[in-house]
Amino acid sequence: MGWYLREMTQDMPHLRPKPKSAPDARPYHHGDLRAALLAAAEDELAERGMEGFSLRSVAKRAGVSHAAPAHHFGDAKGLLTALAAEGFRQFLAAQAAREAVAEPDPASQLVAAGLGYIDFALARPTLFRLLWQSERPDFSDPDLGQAARAAYTHLVDQVTGAGGRNTADEAAVWAIAHGLADLLAAGRMMSVGSLPAEARDAMLVTIIRRALPD
């Protein structure tokens, strides 16, 4: 670490041209450190879990010093806040992916959204927990608030589109999708989680349909 500093001080800079695109060159300015840190943080969460998350380890993973994240995110809470906002967008994208291949009728679309909800939790369990259970992100942050509100709005729209009329309709669909997602992501509901993908999806569809309005 810090080899570039040695190189700068010990060598004579004017004797060699700047290796602008050398394969192993690490410039002082990263270029897009903010995005790299977010990606590294997501990897860190996936590998070491919510409790083992370390800001210094994220910085090392991105190949920068331990204090580099501060300038882009302030502190660890800031980094996790930005990651949560990005996570909510991926969360909505997972639902949209399921809706795109589902029947166009409102009930099928609502069930597809639920399957996407669960897909995301199974694919990124720790990120899912960051969105729904963690206290580390700053949920008063405007960007995160907007992303979270978009996810909630999408749910309400789907429920009302499928004939939902009151808060009980919304809450029932939301709770059953969220409960399945959380229990499956935590590996607690093995009676469903140990099924092969197709059988599991079929089982989830029948369960979700119970909570539908009508």
- Which residue ranges make up the site for a copy of itself (CB under 8 A)? 49-51, 129, 132-136, 167-168, 170-172, 174-180, 182-183, 186, 188-189, 191-192, 203, 206-207, 210-211
- Comparison of 66 and 165: residue with beta carbon closer to DNA: 66
- Comparison of 34 and 178: residue with beta carbon closer to DNA: 34
Q: Minimum distance from CB of 109 to a copy of itself (Å)? A: 20
In three-state form (DSSP H/G/I as H, E/B as E, the rest C), the secondary structure along the chain is CCHHHHHHHHCCHHHCCCCCCCCCCCCCCCCCHHHHHHHHHHHHHHHHCCCCCCHHHHHHHCCCCCCHHHHHHCCHHHHHHHHHHHHHHHHHHHHHHHHHCCCCCHHHHHHHHHHHHHHHHHHCHHHHHHHHCCCCCCCCCHHHHHHHHHHHHHHHHHHHHCCCCCHHHHHHHHHHHHHHHHHHHCCCCHHHHCCCHHHHHHHHHHHHHHCCCC
Q: Minimum distance from CB of 48 to DNA (Å)? A: 9
Q: Minimum distance from CB of 132 to a copy of itself (Å)? A: 6
Q: Which residues bind DNA (CB under 7 A)?
A: 1-2, 4-5, 8-9, 27-31, 33, 53-57, 59, 64-68, 70-72, 74-77
Q: Minimum distance from CB of 81 to DNA (Å)? A: 11
